[in-house]
Structure 1
Amino acid sequence: MSYQALYRAWRPQKFGDLVGQELITKTLKNAIVTEQTSHAYLFTGPRGTGKTSAAKIFAKAINCHRQEDGEPCNECATCTSITTGRQNDVIEIDAASNNGVEEIRDIRDKVKYAPTECDYKIYIIDEVHMLSTGAFNALLKTLEEPPANVVFILATTEPHKIPATIISRTQRFDFRRIQATTILQRMEFIVEQKQLQYDPAALKLIAQAAEGGMRDALSILDQVISFGNDQITLDNALMVTGSVQNHELLEYLEQVHSNDTAAALETLHQIIVAGKDAGRFIEDLISFCRDLLLYQQAPKRLEEEQLDVVDDDFRAFAAKISPEEIYQMIDLLNEQQENMRFTAHASIYLEVLTVKLATRKQTSVAQTNANVQVPEAAQTALVEDLSRQVRALQEQIHELEQRSAQAGNGVQLNRQEAKPRINKQSAKKAPTVNLTQLYSVLDDATKKSLLELRDIWDDLMNMLTVAQRAVMHISSPVAASEDGVIVTFQFDFLCERAQTDQQLQTTLENGLDRLIGHVPRLIFIPQDSWPQIRQQYLDSQKNAPSHEKHPEDRSRSEEKQADQTTQAQPIVDEARKLFGDELIDVKND
C-alpha cells in the first residue's frame, strides 16, 4: 500500500480524537444521545481545526446503530463505508468547484429521495461561502425545510461571506485555533505510535509554526520526517519551516537595542546565508517582540502559553528594554514587511530594516535633546504664535458656519436636478438629487411599502460587508413605492459614496430581491434636504390643476389636503413633526 500523509492517516475517527474542540464535540454527542439533532449545521473556523472531520464523525455517529455515548463504533458496515468514502448516503460537495445554481438544484431534486442504506442522508458542503448568489437562493428553501431524514452540514473558513438568511437556518459552531500545547501533545502521541526518535524542541517549534492548525502541524511534521530520514531533529525542523531560533532572535534584538549596527548586520548575514526565509524572519521578530510585551505585563500567562521561549536571557532582556522601544520596533517591522511583499530583493530590505532599528533610538534621543535645548523665551513666543493661529482658525470656522447657514436657507430645488450648495473652500463635490426620479417615487408612495422596507432594513444591512455597512449604518428609508425607495443619509459624504458605489447598490438590490421579492429603484439623498423636498412636493401637488392629475393622483392629493386641514390641531401637528407624514394616519371622529 502506498504511503499516506500523516494528516490523512491520523484523521480523527471519533469525537474523542478531535482535540482542542471539546465544547463542540460534547454538544454534538449530547444531541445524538438525546436524539435532538438539527436539520442543518454550520461549522466555521480557521483551516485545519477539524470542521470536515467533525462533519464525517457526526455522519457516522447519527447513522451508527452501535454508537455509545454519541461516539460511532467505527466497526459496523455503515461506519466503515463512511470512513472509506464509499457510502452513497453521505455526500461530500466542494463548493469551490461546484458553486453554480445547477449543482444546488440537483441537490434540491435528489434530497426528497429516502436514503438507501443509512437512517439519515448527510450532505457535507465544504467551503460553502464560495457558492454564488443564485446557488444560495436555490439552497435557501431546501435548507429551511428539508425532509425528516436529511441533514445538511456546511463548512467554511469565511462565515462573513454567507448570507444572514442561510446562517439563521442553521446551528452554528465556531471552531477555534488549537493551542500549541495541545498540538504538541497530539504530535508526541503520533510519533510515539510510529516509534520514531524525536527531539522535543523540534516538535515544539512545529507546534508554534502551525499557528493553531492541526493539519498544518502534521503536514510540517511529515516534511521533517521525510527530510531527516525518520529523524525528527531541531535543525531539520528549522530548515523545513524557515524559522529562526529564539536565541538568534534575542541576539539580533540585543544588538539593535544597543545600537551596534555592525554586529546586527553580521548576525543578519549569518541568518540569510543559513537559508532562512526573509518573510518568516520578520514574522518571528514580530512574534518575539509581542512575547516581550506580554511578559512585561503578564509573565505567568506567557510562560504557560509559549513553549521554550522564556529563559534567563529572555527575562534579562525584557527587564532592560522599555515598552515604547518595543512599540517602535513593531511599527518598523510591520512597515518593512509590507514593503517586502512584492520585491525580489528581500535581503536588501532586511539590511535597511536593521539599520533603521539600530539607529532608531539615536534619532529619538536627538529629537528629545533638541526639544529640551529650546530657550524659554523661544518657547513663550512659540506658544503665543500658536494661540494667534488658533484664534484665527476659530474665527474662520465661525464665518464658514454663518455662510453655510445662509446658503442652506437660500437653496432652491428645481424639478430636474437639485444640488446642495457647496462652500467654495470645500474640496469635495456634494451629492446630487434627481427630483424627476424622486417625485415619481413620491407619486406612488404608500405607507405599506415604507413599513415593509423598514421591517426588513436591519436584515438588509446584515447582508452587506463590513465596509458597506459602514457607509449605510446611519441611513434610513423615508418613502417607498412598489418601484422605488428614497433613502436619506445623515452625512453628505456618505450619501455621495453610496451614489457612486455601484457594487454597494448591486448588493442592496440583490438583498431586496431576496427579502421582498422585487427590486425597487434606490434613490439616495442627504437627510438635511429631505424636509424641503417633501414640502415642495406637497406644495406642487396642492397647486396643480385638478384636471391635470390622474384619478389616483387626485385621490391621493385629496387625502393629503384633508390631512393638511387637520394640521391646525396641535397634537396632529406635533406628531407630523416627530414622525413625518408617511407614518401618520389621521382619522376623523
Structure 2
Amino acid sequence: MAYQALYRVWRPQQFIDVVGQEHVTKTLQNALLQQKISHAYLFNGPRGTGKTSAAKILAKAVNCERAPISEPCNECAACKGITNGTISDVLEFDAASNSRVEEMRDVLDKVKFAPTAVNYKVYIIDEVHMLSISAFNALLKTLEEPPKHVIFILATTEPHKIPLTIISRCQRFDFRRITAQSIVNRMKLIVEETGVKCEEDALKMIARAAEGGMRDALSLLDQAISFSHEEVTVEDALTVTGSVSQGFLNKLARAVMEKDVASGLEALEELLFHGKDPSRFIEDFILYYRDMLLYKTAPNLEESLDRVLLDEEFRQIAEAVPYDQIYQLIELLNKTQQDMRWTNHPRIFLEVAIVKLCQTEAKQIEQMPAGQLSELLKKIEQLEHELQHLKTNGSIMVQEAAPQAAQKPSQRSSRKGFQPAVGRINEVLKNATKNDINQIKSKWGEMRGRLMKSHAALLNEAEPAAASADAFILKFKHEIHCQMAMDNNRFVETITLALQELTGNRYLVLGVPEEQWLSIRENFLSTQHHVEGEVSGSNQEEEPHIAEAKNLFGAEFVEIID
C-alpha cells in the first residue's frame, strides 16, 4: 500500500478529534442532538484548522444510521461510504478549480433530485471565495430556498471576499488558530501511536513554526521524521523549518548586550554559511526580543511566547537587558526588515544592523561595570560639594541682589490698564522738532527689518508720534499691544540699540496708547497756549485759523510764515 502523509492518516473522523475548535464542535453537536440542522453553514478560518474535516464529520453525523447522535459512529454503511468518498450524495466541490458559473449550474441542477443512499445531500464547497460573481449569483437563489434534503457547507480562508447576501443566509462559524500546546499534545499522541522517537523541544519548535495550523505541523513533523535517523531532535526540527537555533540567538543577543561587534559579525557569518535565509533570521530575531519583553513583563505566560524556549541562558540575558534597550532593538530590527524587502543585497543591511545593535547605548545605569559606577558616584559627590561651596560663598551676593530685584517690578502691573509716563512725554513735546521725528521715521523701516519676528509683530500698528534729541514717543493703536511691548525690557532695549546703530543717537522710548496720546497732546497744547498768552499779553491774540490748525495737527508741526 502506498505511503500516506501523516495529516491524511490522522485526519479527524469525529468532532472530539478536531483540536482547538471546541466552540464550533460543541455547537454542532448540540444542533445534531436537538435536530436543529441548518440548510447552510459557513466555516471560515486560517488554513489547516479543521474546516473541511469538520464539514465531513457533520455530513457523516446527519446521515448516520444511528442519528440523532452527537458523533458519527464510523461503523455503519453511510459513515464508511462518506469517509471513503463512494456516496455520491455527499459532494466535495473545489471552487478554486471550478469557479465558473457553468460548473456551478451543473451542480445546482442536481440539487432538486432526492438523495439515493443517505438522508441528506451535503454539498461541501471548499475555498468558496474563489467563485466568480456569476457563480455566486447562481448559488444565491438555491441557497436561499433549498430543498429540505440539501445542506450546503461553505469553507473559506477569506470570508471578506464573499458577498454579504451569501453570508447572511448561512450560519457562520469562525475557526481559530490552534495553540502551540494543543498542537504539541496532538503530535505527542501521533508519535506514540506510530512508535517514532521525538524530543519534546523539537515538537515545540515544529508547533511554533506551524503558526496555528495543524496540517502544517503534521507536514513538518512528517518531513522531520524522514530527515532524522533514529530520533527527531531539535536540530532536525530547525533544519526542516528553516529557523535559527535558540543557542545561536542567545549567542547573538549576548554579543549585543556586551557590545561585542566582532562576536556578533562572526555569529552572523556562521549563520549565513549554513544557508539560513537572512529574512527568516531577522524575523526570528525580532520574535526573540518580543518574547524577551513578554517574559520580563509576564514570566508566567509561557504560552504567549512565539519563538523562544525558556532555557537558563535566555533567562539570564532577559534579566540583564533593560526594557528601554529592548524597545530600541526591536525598532531597529523592524526598520532593517523593511529595508531588506527592497534590496538585492539583504546581507549588507543585516551586517549594518548587527553593528548598530552592538553600539546601542543602554539607558539604565545598571549596565555600567562596577568600577565605572563607583567613579561616577565619586564625581557626583564632588560636584555636590563644589555646588554647596558656591552657594555658601555666593550668599552675600544673593542677599545684596534681592532688594534690587524686589524694586524692579513695575508698578504698572498693580494698576488698572497701562499708565504712560505723562511727565516725560510732556518734556519730549516741549523739545520736539521736525528734524528729530523725520530722522527716526526715515530709519524706522530699516530698524524693523533688523528685529526678530516676534518683536517686529508688536510694531505692526505702532509708529513714532514725536521726538526730541534724546527721546521719542511711540504711539500704539491698542493698549494691550502697548503694555506688552513696554513691559518687555528686551524689546525696548533692542529698539534702542537698533536706532542707535542707524542714527548715532541713543533714544529713550516712551510708549503710549493712541486714545491716551490724544488726550495727553490736547492737554499739553492747551497748557502751552495758556502760558504763551500770559507771557505775550492779550494784545497778541492768535488768529482763529492758526489756533485751529495747531489743534488739528499739533503745535510742533505748524510753521507760521508771514
In the other structure, the counterpart of 1:43 is 43
In the other structure, the counterpart of 1:275 is 275
Deviations 1:438-459 (A, max 9, x none): xxxxxxxxxxxxxxxxxxxxxx
Deviation at 1:186, TM superposition (A): 0.5
In the other structure, the counterpart of 2:116 is 116
TM-score by length of 1: 0.60
Deviation at 1:115, TM superposition (A): 0.9
* C-alpha distance in 2 between matches for 1:359 and 1:207: 35
SS at match of 1:113: coil
Q: Contact (CA 8 Å) 2:49, 2:214: kept in 1 or not? A: yes
In the TM superposition, 1:126-275 aligns within 5 A as 126-229=126-229, 231-275=231-275
Match for 1:74: what amino acid?
N
Match for 1:353: what amino acid?
A
Deviation at 1:363, TM superposition (A): 12
In the other structure, the counterpart of 2:296 is 296
* C-alpha distance in 1 between matches for 2:362 and 2:312: 28
* C-alpha distance in 2 between matches for 1:207 and 1:280: 17
Deviations 1:458-512 (A, max 9, x none): xxxxxxxxxxxxxxxxxxxxxxxxxxxxxxxxxxxxxxxxxxxxxxxxxxxxxxx
In the TM superposition, 1:327-366 aligns within 5 A as 327-341=327-341, 343-361=343-361
Q: Contact (CA 8 Å) 2:284, 2:307: kept in 1 or not? A: no
* C-alpha distance in 2 between matches for 1:167 and 1:190: 36
* C-alpha distance in 2 between matches for 1:155 and 1:333: 37
Deviation at 1:168, TM superposition (A): 0.8
SS at match of 1:300: coil
Deviates more, 1:322-331 or 1:166-175: 322-331
* C-alpha distance in 1 between matches for 2:172 and 2:350: 44
Query: Cα distance 1:267–1:58, how it changes in 2: closer, same or farther (>3 A)?
Result: same
Q: Contact (CA 8 Å) 1:140, 1:166: kept in 2 or not? A: yes
* C-alpha distance in 2 between matches for 1:386 and 1:116: 94
Deviates more, 1:201-210 or 1:59-68: 59-68
Deviations 1:340-372 (A, max 9, x none): 33655443332122123223438999xxxxxxx
Q: Contact (CA 8 Å) 2:72, 2:79: kept in 1 or not? A: yes
Query: Cα distance 1:115–1:363, how it changes in 2: closer, same or farther (>3 A)?
Result: same
* C-alpha distance in 1 between matches for 2:454 and 2:230: 76
Deviation at 1:176, TM superposition (A): 0.4
Q: Contact (CA 8 Å) 1:44, 1:157: kept in 2 or not? A: yes
In the TM superposition, 1:529-540 aligns within 5 A as none
Give the number of aligned pairs. Answer: 372
* C-alpha distance in 1 between matches for 2:325 and 2:305: 24
Match for 1:61: what amino acid?
A
Match for 2:55: what amino acid?
A
Identify unmatched segments of 5+ residues in structure 2.
366-450, 459-562
In the other structure, the counterpart of 2:543 is none
Q: Contact (CA 8 Å) 1:95, 1:128: kept in 2 or not? A: yes
Match for 1:176: what amino acid?
R
Deviation at 1:188, TM superposition (A): 0.6
Deviations 1:227-256 (A, max 9, x none): 114531222111111111223212212212
Identify unmatched segments of 5+ residues in structure 1.
366-384, 393-589
Q: Contact (CA 8 Å) 1:303, 1:310: kept in 2 or not? A: no
* C-alpha distance in 2 between matches for 1:9 and 1:50: 14
Q: Contact (CA 8 Å) 1:81, 1:87: kept in 2 or not? A: yes
* C-alpha distance in 1 between matches for 2:12 and 2:336: 41
* C-alpha distance in 1 between matches for 2:298 and 2:452: 43
Deviates more, 1:328-337 or 1:97-106: 328-337
Deviations 1:256-301 (A, max 9, x none): 2332211101111122223323222112111111111112221111
Query: Cα distance 1:117–1:297, how it changes in 2: closer, same or farther (>3 A)?
Result: same
SS at match of 1:361: coil
* C-alpha distance in 2 between matches for 1:305 and 1:350: 24
Match for 1:341: what amino acid?
R
In the TM superposition, 1:8-157 aligns within 5 A as 8-67=8-67, 69-157=69-157
| Structure 1 residue runs of 4 or more that deviate by more than 6 Å after TM superposition | 362-365
Query: Cα distance 1:82–1:386, how it changes in 2: closer, same or farther (>3 A)?
Result: farther
Q: Contact (CA 8 Å) 1:187, 1:218: kept in 2 or not? A: yes
Query: Cα distance 1:141–1:274, how it changes in 2: closer, same or farther (>3 A)?
Result: same
In the other structure, the counterpart of 1:581 is none
Query: Cα distance 1:344–1:296, how it changes in 2: closer, same or farther (>3 A)?
Result: same
* C-alpha distance in 1 between matches for 2:4 and 2:453: 75
In the other structure, the counterpart of 2:397 is none
Q: Which has the larger radius of gyration?
A: 2
SS at match of 1:251: helix
Query: Considering only aligned residues, what root-mean-square deviation do their CA atoms show, in Å?
Result: 2.6
In the other structure, the counterpart of 2:509 is none
In the TM superposition, 1:321-332 aligns within 5 A as 321-332=321-332
Query: Cα distance 1:294–1:285, how it changes in 2: closer, same or farther (>3 A)?
Result: same
Deviation at 1:62, TM superposition (A): 0.7
Match for 2:243: what amino acid?
S
In the other structure, the counterpart of 1:562 is none
Deviations 1:64-116 (A, max 9, x none): 01257411111111111111122201111111111111122222221111111
SS at match of 2:112: coil
Q: Contact (CA 8 Å) 2:89, 2:115: kept in 1 or not? A: yes
SS at match of 1:88: coil
Query: Cα distance 1:96–1:65, how it changes in 2: closer, same or farther (>3 A)?
Result: same
Deviates more, 1:333-342 or 1:251-260: 333-342
Query: Cα distance 1:289–1:363, how it changes in 2: closer, same or farther (>3 A)?
Result: closer
Deviation at 1:15, TM superposition (A): 0.5
* C-alpha distance in 2 between matches for 1:336 and 1:306: 21
In the other structure, the counterpart of 2:505 is none
